[in-house]
Amino acid sequence: MDDELTTGGETPPADPADPASAGTPEPPKRRRGRPPGSTARTTRVVTMTLTVSGSADGDWQAELKQGSTWVARGLPVTASAVSAAAAALHADLAGPVDELIEGARAAKAARVAELEAELEQARKDLAELEQ
Contact 19, 26 (CB under 8 A): yes
SS3 8: helix
pLDDT value for 12: 57
The model's pTM is 0.55
Domain boundaries, the chain: 46-131
Q: How far apart are CA 95 and CA 131, in angstroms?
A: 54
Express each pLDDT in 66-85 by its tens digit.
988 999 999 999 999 999 99
Q: How far apart are CA 73 and CA 59, in angstroms?
A: 15
Express each pLDDT in 28-68 by its tens digit.
777 777 667 666 677 788 889 999 998 877 889 999 999 88
